Amino acid sequence: MQITSRFSVAVHTLLVLYLFEGTQKTTSEFIAASVNVNPVVIRRTLQHLKAAGMVEVKAGSGGARICRDLGDITLYDIYRAVDSVEGSLFHFHEHPNPACPVGRNIHTVLDGHLADAQRAMEEELKKVTLRDLTQELSRNI
């Protein structure tokens, strides 16, 4: 089980937009060079971030910029914007054997714990803003 790389690519993209704002045209090609992915991946990521109201993208090669306050964008917002996980974080095997006492009860025993774990992770993501990450980045440059 893994959260897709769309999440880390989106965070990386936003940090590039922040760091190079006003000094560099932040095109998909420029961002892709930092992330080390194909520019198509960045264009798709920017579409998701734009739909979530986090970035503005200029047509052609005009570049992109963050359009919300950095303190108002959490890691959870980014995680949801790029569909890092569809539905539940934990995928459950489809058909446990109802004739087996474990198979018959596995959902009752495990589902609540898995839902709690996902909620806990999501609550942690809600605590970290893009402003927090830009401050950490600035200390490390």
Residue 1 lies in a domain: no
**pLDDT score for 2:** 64
What integer is the mean pLDDT of 70-78? Answer: 98
* Domain count across the chain: 1
Which structural domain range is residue 126 located in? 6-140
DSSP 90: S
Confidence of residue 4 (pLDDT cuts 50, 70, 90): confident
Confidence of residue 1 (pLDDT cuts 50, 70, 90): low
Q: Which two tokens stand for residue 112?
A: 């609540």
Mean pLDDT of the chain: 94
Residue 55 lies in a domain: yes
Residue 20 lies in a domain: yes
Long-range contacts, stretch 118-123, CB < 8 angstroms, 24+ apart: 118/88, 118/89, 118/90, 121/89, 122/76, 122/79
Residue 104 lies in a domain: yes
pLDDT more than 90, % of the chain: 85
Q: Is the pLDDT of residue 85 over 80?
A: no
Phi, psi for 78 (deg, rounded to 5)? -65, -45
CATH code of the domain containing 42 = 1.10.10.10
